[in-house]
Amino acid sequence: MSGYGGNAAQLFARAVLFDFDGVLTTDPSGSHTTVAALARMTGLDGDRIWAALQPFNHDLLLGRTTHAAIWPGFCAAIGQDVPIERLHDAFAATPWTRR
């Protein structure tokens, strides 16, 4: 374990949280929330945002790529140079279930 640069206690998570959409958020999916927030931020239609994200979605869901890696292609597809911080803002816009 010392090959990881720390002791074994540092390798264990204290908790693991799974959200099966609709459990922690009131929206039907995280993608719905993200697309809606990006549409508001860019002034574009949600369908256009979704169409720009769709080619990357499968690899994002499987962890084969990152949002940072696809962001330039997304911006090119919508014709706007949107700072990636707006994506972080869109993630933060997810409404939480208050039950």
- Interatomic CA distance for residues 54 and 67, integer angstroms: 12
- Mean pLDDT for all residues in the chain: 82
Please list the alpha-helical segments (H only) found in the chain.
30-42, 46-61, 67-78, 85-92
**Single pTM value for the model:** 0.69
Chain center to CA of 85: 11
Band (pLDDT 50/70/90 cuts) for residue 84 is: very high
pLDDT tens digit string along 38-78?
999 999 999 999 999 999 999 998 999 999 999 999 999 99
Q: Taking the domains of the chain in order of start, what are their residue ranges?
A: 21-92
